[in-house]
Chain A
């Protein structure tokens, strides 16, 4: 046993030495090869390396435009001139920057950043000193180029948003490539100063807008300086994205919303689902993001209580208030519990389970039928109806009309809202549903939440003959249509829809309607709709007795004002939804704005004109033009130095 072990161990030792010798020999081969390459043939390779070589350079593709339905640009590119500094050629970097500073404006921070960057990179790599040069700056630098060793001018592209804050949430903005973006394997992402979509349409269709990188073979010398371009394989320009938006309407809506502190609105086509305007106010200027946002401005945007960065039209969630009453009405009608003759007496309150549920009108509305109840927004009528059919049927009808789930709109910022039912409450609170909660829900209060977009979709479905239309905003990407316009019927009785429509018509056009004051005075145009006021904080009976009114509360506790509407009243084509955050009553704060928006819409009548798809040169489109500004004709811009 022992002998065998020794024999085995001896064999192992011999063989292990053999293996070790093999390893040593192979390493020796590597060492000799290295010495051969670096010493014996070193001179040859040094010459090869010093000779001008071909370098492959990636050319950034031109980013696709974002345009409205008529081709009006919402996001375009502008030539952007940048000053670069190559440390090796500059020699004394601070000194060169000092001379440069006499010709163009440079902040202390830009100077410091350039010096710091120049110290970090290999000396032959150019660093950016400043971008966004004006034409005069460029001309002046070109003239003084001989006094500025190591300075060069580079041309790139900058994203411009001509509509500035009017379409900021929709178009979004571009920003520098972040570390997480780099997970994607596209060589253009590694280009310095390359920008990609960070929000809105810019982010959603980033890959289409981005295009494909081109490549150029550049002859460079050992310093990395470009000698000449050998071949150029142009990339493919990004696709043009055409939105269904009417940019002019969008801008006017945004301006109208600016009259109040915080609001959002949606205008859409009730037949096709195309969104014509989607506004959230206050807004921000996306051009600030591409030209460099100051820390103070950023802080200001973040701390604004009206959340200018949020797209409230799709992400803001509000109790729909009385705009929900059409759902309660339809649920009861479709169930057969009520019909057009059903009347309810409103004494100003409704008794249920020992509790008293108040109508907004303390003195009561008296006898009400459905049309009158919608017209005058009588709460008691809907309390009574809902107490008879229960929450499940109401919730079911609400979901059929697009509430409680995402509408499937393209932008990812969309929120789903909330349509409570028994299962939801059990799951969320672990408590059974109470009858009183149905009463509260019947007038769109309590747990119910909806986004302005959902309310617009609900209205569109009510007035288009009960078709399950969905909202969309992308018409074409390149020349590819993104949506179909056929929407299935929801199988709701036309008679019932007609009843509800009649009620919504009277809201505006009947002297007793809650929005009668906001009707079109001229009579040429008509619209219908429904007001809504949703409570943010209850005013207690005690406070009410003391005479506290909504306007007396701090801004953030005031009621939201809502209005959902459609026009023209006789043959609805446009639906709109508007929410004025903490604006007070729906009829006083929201209805007048809705009237103006619908008037603008009918005046523009965007549905009358179809979108024309883009027919771009799909291949070989312009990449960044290798154009440099010409020298100025006269050389009279001598500096005072």
Chain B
């Protein structure tokens, strides 16, 4: 306790000192990744800012401003807001579910004018905040008890079930993975993970039974792309041809024949990495992967410097969430995992992923700026 009282109270931080503590390095990385996106979108439109690059730049500027705003707000506010944010996220999820039943079609999003917001994206962040708060308060022996874990498990299960109802298998799996990562960080015994994993494997046939036909098709196509050369397998085959033909140095800016001759579907959204790597080759692709690696490194660095458990858990959780997108998207376009409609955050054309990523970075930076804050145990 005596040590605590010696600590600098972050509440006393002036705006100026907060701005000085702002992670300019992280902001620069985010900006660099977004620039890769602008370049690729400019090329995807055959050398035009319309219709994609221009709007993407506008969105990025707005979202980046929002991230800085979030970063400047005291971490204790975010601590307090964890449960309300979770409750709001649940209400939004239920709202889209009910609207879908009332007859507005299977909508997964709410239109906010410049972007279409998917409540499940915000829910992921709220979920990480709540879990960070739960593990912040937990003592080491708590996490060994299964009874303690009941609440966090329910906290994950509720939104996962709602998202499954939409039905959006990909997003619910990502929620489970992000939640699992929080448990891992919290110190839950490794044997529990082993047991859950084994149970999951055993239940695969049951899950298979409940999958929609198009989802089954995607898995089958992934296992044997040539079985469906003009369907989903066609996308992957074309994506691999585009990537592979890029070679070491790429075909050059705006000269990606596969992308520009429309062999490549969705080149401005899900397959943007393919376009980038076709035109800039292995060097360009590795450069982008390196930028992502530096972002993850930043996550670790912020987590280690943070003096409160909430900030540490929050930062690592958000970093894992961000990296899941990267792995799933790039893994998909390279034929490592089945086709799922997942964008490459900050690069793909689209508002929701951009907003979610920037909110996440805002919270990480808030944890960094207010790394010395004193947070209650409950």
Chain A residues proximal to chain B, CB less than 8 Å: 1-2, 4, 7-9, 11-13, 15-20, 23-24, 26-27, 29-31, 33-35, 37-39, 41-42, 44-46, 48-50, 53, 55-56, 120-125, 179, 182, 220, 222-224
Q: Chain A residues with Cβ under 8 A from B181's Cβ?
A: 19
| B293 x A27 contact (CB < 8 A) | yes
If the complex has contacts A34-B285, A38-B281, are A15 and B185 also in contact, measured as CB distance less than 8 A? yes
Chain B residues proximal to chain A, CB less than 8 Å: 1, 3, 46-48, 50-51, 139-140, 181, 184-187, 240-248, 254-255, 257-258, 260-263, 277, 281-282, 285-286, 289, 292-293, 296-297, 299-300, 303-304, 309, 312-313, 316, 319-320, 323, 326-327, 330-331, 334, 336
| A220 x B316 contact (CB < 8 A) | no
If the complex has contacts A20-B300, A53-B261, are A45 and B241 also in contact, measured as CB distance less than 8 A? yes
Q: Chain B residues with Cβ under 8 A from A1's Cβ?
A: 1
Q: How far is the CA of A13 from the CA of B309 in the complex (A)?
A: 11
Ranked nearest first, the 7 interchain pairs of A and B with the lowest CB-CB distance are: A45-B244, A49-B245, A11-B187, A38-B282, A120-B47, A46-B245, A37-B244
| A8 x B309 contact (CB < 8 A) | yes
Interface centre among A29, A37, A55 (most CB of B within 10 A): A37
CB-contact partner of B254 in A13, A48, A122, under 8 A: A122
| B140 x A8 contact (CB < 8 A) | yes
If the complex has contacts A16-B312, A56-B262, A122-B47, are A31 and B289 also in contact, measured as CB distance less than 8 A? yes
- Apart from A27-B296, A37-B334, A120-B46, what 20 extra A-B contacts exist at CB < 8 Å? A7-B140, A12-B185, A12-B186, A12-B303, A16-B300, A19-B185, A20-B296, A24-B296, A30-B336, A34-B282, A35-B282, A38-B246, A38-B277, A39-B247, A44-B244, A45-B240, A53-B263, A122-B260, A124-B257, A125-B46
Can you list 30 A-B pairs with a CB-CB distance of less than 8 A? A4-B139, A12-B185, A12-B186, A12-B313, A13-B304, A15-B184, A20-B299, A23-B293, A23-B320, A27-B327, A29-B336, A33-B336, A34-B282, A34-B334, A35-B282, A38-B246, A42-B244, A45-B241, A46-B245, A48-B241, A49-B241, A49-B242, A49-B244, A49-B245, A55-B263, A122-B260, A123-B255, A124-B257, A124-B261, A182-B51
The distance from the CB of A7 to the nearest CB of chain B, in whole angstroms, is: 5
The distance from the CB of B364 to the nearest CB of chain A, in whole angstroms, is: 14
Q: Chain A residues with Cβ under 8 A from B263's Cβ?
A: 53, 55
Interface centre among B47, B261, B297, B309 (most CB of A within 10 A): B261
The distance from the CB of A456 to the nearest CB of chain B, in whole angstroms, is: 40
Q: Chain B residues with Cβ under 8 A from A222's Cβ?
A: 257
Closest to B282 in A: A38
Q: Chain A residues with Cβ under 8 A from B277's Cβ?
A: 34, 38
| A39 x B282 contact (CB < 8 A) | yes
| B187 x A27 contact (CB < 8 A) | no
The distance from the CB of A88 to the nearest CB of chain B, in whole angstroms, is: 10
The SS class assigned to the B binding surface is helix
If the complex has contacts A19-B181, A30-B330, A31-B286, are A38 and B243 also in contact, measured as CB distance less than 8 A? yes
The distance from the CB of B17 to the nearest CB of chain A, in whole angstroms, is: 25
Q: How far is the CA of A56 from the CA of B230 in the complex (A)?
A: 11
Q: How far is the CA of A42 from the CA of B262 in the complex (A)?
A: 20
| A45 x B243 contact (CB < 8 A) | yes
The distance from the CB of A2 to the nearest CB of chain B, in whole angstroms, is: 8
Q: How far is the CA of A182 from the CA of B51 in the complex (A)?
A: 10
Q: Chain A residues with Cβ under 8 A from B186's Cβ?
A: 12, 15
The distance from the CB of B330 to the nearest CB of chain A, in whole angstroms, is: 5
Q: Chain A residues with Cβ under 8 A from B319's Cβ?
A: 23
| A34 x B140 contact (CB < 8 A) | no
Q: How far is the CA of A42 from the CA of B244 in the complex (A)?
A: 5
| B46 x A38 contact (CB < 8 A) | no
Q: Chain A residues with Cβ under 8 A from B296's Cβ?
A: 20, 23-24, 27
Q: How far is the CA of A124 from the CA of B184 in the complex (A)?
A: 52
Q: Chain B residues with Cβ under 8 A from A120's Cβ?
A: 46-48
Closest to A15 in B: B185
| B316 x A16 contact (CB < 8 A) | yes
Q: Chain A residues with Cβ under 8 A from B313's Cβ?
A: 12
Closest to B181 in A: A19
If the complex has contacts A30-B330, A35-B282, are A45 and B293 also in contact, measured as CB distance less than 8 A? no
Q: Chain B residues with Cβ under 8 A from A2's Cβ?
A: 3
Q: Chain B residues with Cβ under 8 A from A41's Cβ?
A: 244
The distance from the CB of A299 to the nearest CB of chain B, in whole angstroms, is: 26
Q: Chain A residues with Cβ under 8 A from B140's Cβ?
A: 4, 7-8, 11
Interface centre among A1, A12, A50 (most CB of B within 10 A): A12
Q: How far is the CA of A50 from the CA of B263 in the complex (A)?
A: 13
Q: Chain A residues with Cβ under 8 A from B51's Cβ?
A: 179, 182
Q: Chain A residues with Cβ under 8 A from B326's Cβ?
A: 27
The distance from the CB of A118 to the nearest CB of chain B, in whole angstroms, is: 11
Closest to B300 in A: A20
Q: Chain A residues with Cβ under 8 A from B255's Cβ?
A: 122-123
Q: Chain B residues with Cβ under 8 A from A37's Cβ?
A: 240, 243-244, 334
CB-contact partner of B248 in A20, A26, A39, under 8 A: A39
| B289 x A27 contact (CB < 8 A) | yes
The distance from the CB of A115 to the nearest CB of chain B, in whole angstroms, is: 14
Closest to A125 in B: B46
Q: How far is the CA of A223 from the CA of B326 in the complex (A)?
A: 32
Q: How far is the CA of A53 from the CA of B258 in the complex (A)?
A: 10
Q: How far is the CA of A45 from the CA of B256 in the complex (A)?
A: 13
Q: How far is the CA of A374 from the CA of B359 in the complex (A)?
A: 75
Q: Chain A residues with Cβ under 8 A from B254's Cβ?
A: 122
CB-contact partner of A19 in B184, B244, B293, B327, under 8 A: B184
Q: How far is the CA of A31 from the CA of B273 in the complex (A)?
A: 13
Q: How far is the CA of A44 from the CA of B243 in the complex (A)?
A: 11
Closest to A21 in B: B300
Interface centre among A35, A122, A220 (most CB of B within 10 A): A122
CB-contact partner of B309 in A12, A38, A220, under 8 A: A12
Q: Chain B residues with Cβ under 8 A from A39's Cβ?
A: 247-248, 282
Q: Chain B residues with Cβ under 8 A from A11's Cβ?
A: 140, 187
Q: How far is the CA of A573 from the CA of B296 in the complex (A)?
A: 81
If the complex has contacts A38-B247, A38-B248, are A30 and B304 also in contact, measured as CB distance less than 8 A? no
| A46 x B139 contact (CB < 8 A) | no
Q: How far is the CA of A12 from the CA of B317 in the complex (A)?
A: 12
Q: Chain B residues with Cβ under 8 A from A34's Cβ?
A: 243, 277, 282, 285-286, 289, 334
